[in-house]
Structure 1
Amino acid sequence: MPLWNIQTPIGAYTADQKKAFAKDITAAYTETVGIPAFYVVVNFREVPEEDFLVGGEPVGNFIRIFVDHVARQLETAELRAWASEEFEKALVPHVKDRGFDWEWHVDETPMDLWRTQGLVPPPAFSDAEKLWAKENRPIPYDVAAS
């Protein structure tokens, strides 16, 4: 699961703009590594300018993104560089092209510390995970057989 927490100035995005942003983030994962769309969670948090300080000064045009990865790990420098480029591409129309300053980072949690709907998620690229992606929901499977 990637969880994107996006801190924005108040009113930075309309509901439709948030949905479009979240769809592009989701596509960055589903179209490149094939994870189920329901793994991708995006939360927008609006922060008043007086509570959003950079270098000790209030800012009204800054977007800060915290990403938690669980379903996939970026284990090599090459994968991290590739993913960083994919993330930046997803951000361009929603952040850069709209004149915002931005910063993001990724934390990675071991997959064995994650459950969804009480189920152990299937291994990456397994038949069970492909079924989850096709059905876009968790489905019980034989963990021992995976």
Structure 2
Amino acid sequence: MPYWEIFTPENAFTPEDKEQLSEAITSIYVDYQSLPKFYVVVLFKDMPANTMYVGGKPANNFVRIRLDHIARQMDGAEIRAMFMGLVEEKLAAFVKDRGYDWEVHVDETPIDLWRTQGLVPPPAHSDVEKLWAKENRAIPYEVAS
């Protein structure tokens, strides 16, 4: 699962902005990794003035993005650079072009430490994962031992 936490100045994004940005983020994983859409979770956290600090000073024009990757791990510097380029591209209209300062980081969690709806997610690119993507939901299946 890709999980994004986006910390923004209060009222930086409208509900429409949040939906559009969430769709753009989801497209990264669906278009490039064929992940089920429901794997992608985006949480927006509006931060009131003077609650985020950078270098000990209030950062009221700052967007901080934390990503957790679980469903897929990125192998190699080239893949990571490509991914970070896609992230910057998808964020540009919402962050860079609006004059915000920003920072992004990615953590990768081992897939065996993840469950969805109490189920062990199916192997990457498997028929079961393709079914989950088609149905856009977790469906019980027999886990190979």
Per the TM superposition, whether the score is higher than 0.5 is yes
Distance 2:65 2:132 in 1: 27
Identity of aligned residues (%): 57
Q: What 5-or-longer segments of structure 2 have no aligned partner?
A: none
Q: Using structure 1 for the length normalisation, give the TM-score.
A: 0.96
- One-letter amino acid of the structure 2 residue matched with residue 23 of structure 1: E
Query: In structure 2, what residue type is equivalent to 1:55?
Result: G
Instruction: Give 5+ residue unaligned stretches, structure 1.
Output: none
Q: What corresponds to 2:98 in structure 1? A: 98
Shift of 1:90: 0.9
Query: Which one-letter code corresponds to 1:105 in the other structure?
Result: H
Which amino acid counterpart does residue 33 of structure 2 have in structure 1? Answer: V
Q: Distance in 2 between matches of 1:123 and 1:131?
A: 12
Figure out how many residues of one structure are paired with residues of the other and give that number.
Answer: 145
Give the deviation of 1:49 after TM superposition.
2.1
How do 1:49-60 residues align onto structure 2 when only pairs under 5 Å count?
Answer: 49-60=49-60
- Counterparts in 2 of 1:6-85, with a 5 A limit? 6-85=6-85
Structure 1's consecutive aligned runs of 4 or more residues displaced over 2 angstroms after TM superposition are: none
| Structure-1 separation of matches of 2:77 and 2:142 | 33
Tell me the distance in 1 between the aligned counterparts of 2:115 and 2:129. 14
Q: Give TM-score, length-normalised by structure 2.
A: 0.96
Residue 98 of structure 1 deviates from its aligned partner by 1.3
Aligned residue type for 2:70? V
